[in-house]
Amino acid sequence: MRYTQQIIVEEWGVQGQQKIAAAKVLVVGAGGLGTPLAVYLAAAGVGTIGIADADRIAETNLHRQFLYQEQDLGQSKVESLAAKLRMQNPALSCDTYPFMITVDNALNLLQRYDIICDCTDDAATRILLDKTCNALRIPLVYAAVKDWEAYIAVLHHQKKITLADIFSLTELKENALLNCATAGIVNTTCGIAGSFQANEVFKIVLGMESELDGGIGCLNAAVPLFRIFKLQSSSAAN
C-alpha cells in the first residue's frame, strides 16, 4: 500500500488514514511555503487540496519554489502546482483558484474546507484569512518566513488563538512591504516552515494535541534554534 509506512505509526493507523483521505485543506499561497506544504499533503493522501494564488511563475521563484522549472516560467502557479501534485498522487482531488482572496470571495471559498493554511506574504490577506477563519470557526495553520527565520502557529483551533494575540495588526499592515522580495529568504527556511505546517495539518485531522495550538514556534535556521512561546487568547483573558 502507498501509505503503509504512515499507517503503522501508532497515532495514525487505518482510521487516521481514512480521516486524512476525507480531509479538505486550502493552501493560500503557492510559493516558498505553499509548495513544500502541498507536496507533503498530497503525498500523505489528503483527499482534497485547494490552492489559491494569483501569481505566475517568475525566474526569482525557482530557488525556493522547487516544483517549478524553467519551462514553467509565465504559467499560473496554481495550475502548474496542481498538475504536478496530481502526477505525484493521481487519487488527489485538487481545486485551483488563480485569483486573490478578497473580502468579496473569502467567506464563500474558505467555508468549503476543513483547514486553511496561510502561506502568503501579504499582510492584508493574512488579516482577512484570520478574520474569516474566526467567523467560520475553521482552524488556520499560520506560517511566515524571512531570511533565516520562520514562525508557525495554529490559530482558531482548540485554544482559540487569533492573529491579534500574536501580533499588532496595525504593525503588520505598516510592515506589509517587508516581504521576501525586500527582506530576502533562504530556501531551506521555507522548506522547514512548510513541513511544520503540513505536520500541524496532520495533527489537527488526526485529533492530536499540539504545542503550536496556543503557542508560536520561532525558528532561526542559522543557529539553528527552535523555541515555542506560549500564548493566551484575548477572549480568554477577558
213 pLDDT above the threshold of 50: yes
Mean pLDDT for the chain?
A: 92
Q: What percent of the chain has pLDDT over 70?
A: 94
Q: Which residues contact 30 (CB under 8 A, 6 or more apart)?
A: 38, 51, 52, 53, 55, 65, 77, 78, 81, 119
| pLDDT: which is higher, 81 or 182 | 81
| pLDDT: which is higher, 69 or 169 | 69
178 pLDDT above the threshold of 70: no
pLDDT attached to residue 238:
44
- 101-115 per-position pLDDT tens digit: 999 999 999 999 999
Extents of the domains making up the chain: 4-237
pLDDT attached to residue 176:
57
pLDDT attached to residue 181:
55
- 17-49 per-position pLDDT tens digit: 999 999 999 999 999 999 999 999 999 999 999
pLDDT attached to residue 237:
47
The CA distance from 60 to 127, in Å, is 26
172 pLDDT above the threshold of 80: no
4-237 has CATH 3.40.50.2300 classification: no
Tell me what the mean pLDDT of segment 207-220 comes to: 96
| 44: nearest Cα among 26, 24, 21 | 21
The CA distance from 229 to 211, in Å, is 9
pTM of structure: 0.93
Q: Any idea what the Cα angle at residue 236 is, between residues 233 and 238, rounded to 5°?
A: 115
- 61-76 per-position pLDDT tens digit: 899 988 888 999 999 9
- 181-194 per-position pLDDT tens digit: 567 889 999 999 99
136-158 burial string, b = 16+ CB within 10 Å, else e?
A: bebbbbbbbbbebbbbbbbbbbe
pLDDT attached to residue 236:
52
pLDDT attached to residue 232:
80
234 pLDDT above the threshold of 80: no
pLDDT attached to residue 16:
97
